Amino acid sequence: MGKDTNKVVQENNIQLTVGLNADRTPVKIEWEASDSQNGPEECKAMLVSLFDKAHKDTLKIDLWTLEMQVNEMDRFMYQTLRGLADTYYRATNNQQLSNDFMRFVQYFGEKTETLPKK
């Protein structure tokens, strides 16, 4: 018999800690993986998307700190979009839509000046 690929053989945790100011605005975001040797690491923004198994709906948490600059958000969004295009291709093998997605990512990168214009 073959391996049971759905059997859980190990668990890891990712912990997110969000520090809020008196207005409940994020001022500090830290994340830590249970198998990390480094301890908590600070970041300026996070985007979390979860696809709910039962309801077939996407749950999202999008947070950024007050110190996140617009040019940093542009870079963050460009890199996220680029990663999403790659993930979409790897998950679906749909080359045509993936290429269309990447054309938009290129456009976004140029418009935000994250990438030099061609």
Per-residue pLDDT of the chain (118 residues; tens, 9 = 90+): 567 888 999 999 999 999 999 999 999 999 999 998 888 999 999 999 999 999 999 999 999 999 999 999 999 999 999 999 999 999 999 999 999 999 999 999 999 999 987 7
Q: CB-hemisphere CA count at 13 Å for 84?
A: 15
Which of 19, 13, 21, 84 is CA-nearest to residue 47? Answer: 84
Residue-level pLDDT at 115: 93
Residue 17: what pLDDT? 97
* Long-range own/partner contacts, residues 43-48 (CB < 8 A, 24 or more apart): 44/68, 44/72, 44/76, 45/72, 45/73, 45/76, 46/16, 47/80, 48/16
Residue type, 34: S
